[in-house]
């Protein structure tokens, strides 16, 4: 049977049918394919401070443009994950054309099951509901200090460490170390070792707490946590010191260590410090 209206109309209807089928197929996935504009790609990678040492994972990688740009412009390596086999094929072809196929791969995988623990940077342009399903994995499976950057959609009450707007919103989070709990900090002073018991509360990268010493209790002033880097101030008003102590250090599992700045001007001194986590029962 001939198409009513002739061959031209038949061709038009066939194209429309295929386009509609493709559109319906997209919605079989958790996230429809909507490519990130190239200016936003550039801003995502800039904000995440991507470099040659990074391993970038693009979750829901689409046509591969974010990961390919990370490899081509910043020298990074990485892997893209997507459920759509057509997008994987397109991404691998683009990586070949742009001479980065030795640095990036694309895998047809479920991003909720894919091992993300090796990433130093995670990029994503997903839906809000998908972001929230992923949030616990981002916090628990990624190493502290890993950078997570998202186009357009945030992670609700996990506030971003930075936010930028270049055509669209771009959010950056730095996965925080787990510091909540009790710690015993020791400070090496010329007159002997000084000890503080720290009690730290944490909500994502936001922290506060107090220090106990000499039967006194002092707040932790200006506490900040960025990945594995921690800062806070203790005002030690005992006769032993009577000084502001500016703590700065790095967190590695159950240990924190770094330097304290004590005094100002000509009285300024740097002192090493170390803290170990105290088991909850103690």
Bridge partner residues of 218 (DSSP): 211
Query: Residue 239: what pLDDT?
Result: 63
pLDDT level of residue 34 (50, 70, 90 thresholds): confident
Residue 5: pLDDT above 60? no
Query: Residue 235: what pLDDT?
Result: 92
Q: How many angstroms separate the CA atoms of 205 and 226, rounded?
A: 7
Pair 205, 219: CB distance under 8 Å: no
Pair 70, 122: CB distance under 8 Å: no
Tell me, which fold does domain 31-174 have in CATH?
Rossmann fold (3.40.50)
* Mean pLDDT score, 252-277: 91
Torsion angle of alpha carbons 93, 94, 95, 98, nearest 10°?
A: 130
* Mean pLDDT score, 140-161: 97
Residues of the chain with pLDDT > 70: what percent?
87
Tell me the residue length of the chain: 282
Query: Residue 26: what pLDDT?
Result: 41
Domain spans in the chain, listed from the N-terminal domain onward:
31-174, 181-278
Residue 99: pLDDT above 60? yes
pLDDT level of residue 12 (50, 70, 90 thresholds): very low
Q: How many angstroms separate the CA atoms of 239 and 237, rounded?
A: 7
pLDDT level of residue 31 (50, 70, 90 thresholds): low
**Pairing of β 162-166 and β 168-174:** antiparallel
Tell me how crowded residue 242 is: count the other CB atoms within 10 A of its CB. Answer: 9
Pair 44, 151: CB distance under 8 Å: yes
Residue 240: pLDDT above 90? no
Q: How many angstroms separate the CA atoms of 211 and 220, rounded?
A: 7
* Mean pLDDT score, 162-191: 93
Query: Residue 17: what pLDDT?
Result: 36
Q: Answer with the residue of higher pLDDT: 39 or 33.
A: 39
Query: Residue 16: what pLDDT?
Result: 40
Q: Which of 9-13, 169-173, 174-178 has the lowest mean pLDDT?
A: 9-13
pLDDT level of residue 43 (50, 70, 90 thresholds): very high
Q: Answer with the residue of higher pLDDT: 114 or 282.
A: 114
Q: Who contacts 182 (Cβ-Cβ below 8 Å, separation ≥6)?
A: 197, 198, 199, 200, 277, 278, 280, 282
Query: Residue 241: what pLDDT?
Result: 63
Tens of pLDDT, residue by residue over 222-237, are: 999 999 999 999 998 8
* Mean pLDDT score, 74-86: 96
Residue 4: pLDDT above 50? no
Q: How many angstroms separate the CA atoms of 89 and 136, rounded?
A: 30
Domain 181-278 = CATH 3.40.50.1100: no
Pair 47, 170: CB distance under 8 Å: yes
Query: Residue 7: what pLDDT?
Result: 43
Pair 211, 158: CB distance under 8 Å: no
Query: Residue 23: what pLDDT?
Result: 41
pLDDT level of residue 28 (50, 70, 90 thresholds): low
Spell out the SS3 assignment of the chain: CCCCCCHHHHHHHHHHHHHHHHHHHHCCCCCCCCCCCHHHHHHHHHHCCCCCCCEEEEECCCCCHHHHHHHHHHCCEEEEEECCHHHHHHHHHHHHHCCCCCCEEEEECCCCCCCCCCCCEEEECCCHHHHHHHHHHHHHHCCCCCEEEEECCCCCCCCCCEEEEECEEEEEEECCCCCCEEEEEEEEECCEEEEEEEEEEEECCEEEEEEEECCEEEECEEEEEECCEEEEEEEECCCCCCEEEEEEEEEECCEEEEEEEECCHHHCEEEEEEEEEECCCC
Residue 44: pLDDT above 50? yes
**Rg of the chain over CA atoms, in angstroms?**
26
């Amino acid at each position: 049977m001939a198409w009513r209206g002739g061959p031209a109309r038949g061709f038009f209807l066939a194209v429309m049918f295929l386009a509609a089928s493709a559109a319906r197929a997209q919605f079989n996935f958790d996230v429809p394919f909507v490519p990130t504009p190239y200016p936003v790609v550039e801003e995502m990678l800039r904000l995440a401070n991507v470099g040659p040492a990074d391993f970038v994972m693009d979750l829901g990688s689409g046509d591969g443009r974010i990961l390919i740009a990370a490899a081509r412009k910043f020298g990074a390596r990485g892997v893209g994950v997507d459920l759509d086999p057509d997008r994987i094929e397109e991404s691998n072809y683009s990586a070949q054309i742009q001479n980065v196929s030795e640095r990036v791969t694309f895998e047809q995988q479920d991003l909720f099951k894919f091992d993300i623990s090796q990433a130093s940077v995670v990029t994503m342009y997903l839906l809000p509901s998908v972001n929230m399903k992923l949030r616990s994995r981002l916090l628990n499976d990624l190493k502290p200090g890993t950078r997570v950057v998202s186009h357009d959609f945030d992670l609700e009450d996990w506030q971003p460490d930075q936010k930028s707007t270049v055509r669209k919103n771009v959010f950056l989070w730095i996965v925080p170390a787990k510091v909540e709990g009790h710690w015993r900090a020791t400070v090496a002073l010329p007159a002997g070792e000084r000890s503080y018991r720290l009690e730290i509360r944490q909500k994502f990268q936001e922290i506060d707490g107090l220090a106990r010493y000499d039967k006194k209790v002092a707040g932790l002033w200006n506490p900040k946590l960025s990945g594995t880097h921690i800062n806070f101030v203790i005002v030690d008003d005992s006769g032993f010191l009577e000084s502001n102590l500016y703590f700065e250090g790095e967190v590695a599992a159950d240990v924190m260590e770094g330097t304290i700045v004590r005094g100002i001007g000509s009285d300024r001194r740097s002192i090493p410090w170390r803290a170990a986590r105290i088991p909850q029962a103690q």
